[in-house]
Amino acid sequence: MPEVLEQLKEKLDATRSECARMKGRLERLEEEKARREAKSAELEHQAEVLEKVSEVFRAASESARERARRKVEAAVTDALQAVLGPGIRFKAAVSDRGGRPYADFTVESEYGGARTETPILDARGGGVVDVASLALRTLAAVVTSPGKAPIILDEPGKHLSEGYSAAFGELLKSISSRSSAPCH
């Protein structure tokens, strides 16, 4: 009987040892689980913060884009009206296409009380495209050029109707004086 007792004691010791080993493993796994849960919570918090930052950047970008659109519309409309008269207005519609900003330009004209809106590239007569192009190129040059870089224009009013030449010349003088850049 002492042998059976001895065997039972050995089995009991082995079981206790296995139990202690399993308990230690369980504790390590619980600690690892707690670390991973804490890391997961931290990452979720960071993701929420980044999402909010992304929303702020998106809103700021949209706001800046809208301000720029209004300024471009005003500058080109002023140029068109200075040359062609008060019955014309430049419009820019900014949208996203394929995740990139895209702009459609149109000209709103008034003839005999009726308003028509035409894509800028389809606008005919009087050199509408020439005046709008000059205004857009000048605006881009002034905004992007450091200092007082010259604005070089090659036949800027090539398609302009003769009746608008004097007004176009005045517009060029005005652009030259406002931008403080020589126009050649």
Give the pLDDT confidence of 15-59 residue by residue, as tens digits. 999 999 999 999 999 999 999 999 999 999 999 999 999 999 999
DSSP state of 38: H
Those residues whose C-beta lies under 8 Å from the C-beta of residue 145, and which sit 6 or more positions away, are: 181
Look up residue 85 and give its two tokens. Answer: 């008269």
- CATH superfamily for 69-179 is P-loop containing nucleotide triphosphate hydrolases (3.40.50.300)
Per-residue pLDDT of the chain (184 residues; tens, 9 = 90+): 788 888 889 899 999 999 999 999 999 999 999 999 999 999 999 999 999 999 999 999 889 999 999 999 999 999 999 998 888 999 999 888 888 888 899 999 887 788 889 898 887 666 889 899 889 988 888 888 766 667 788 888 888 888 888 899 898 888 877 766 555 5
Those residues whose C-beta lies under 8 Å from the C-beta of residue 125, and which sit 6 or more positions away, are: 161
> Domain residue spans in the chain?
69-179
Angle subtended by helix axes 2-84 and 128-144, to nearest 10: 130
Q: Are 159 and 129 in contact (CB under 8 A)?
A: yes
* Sequence-ordered strand ranges (E) for the chain: 88-97, 100-111, 114-119
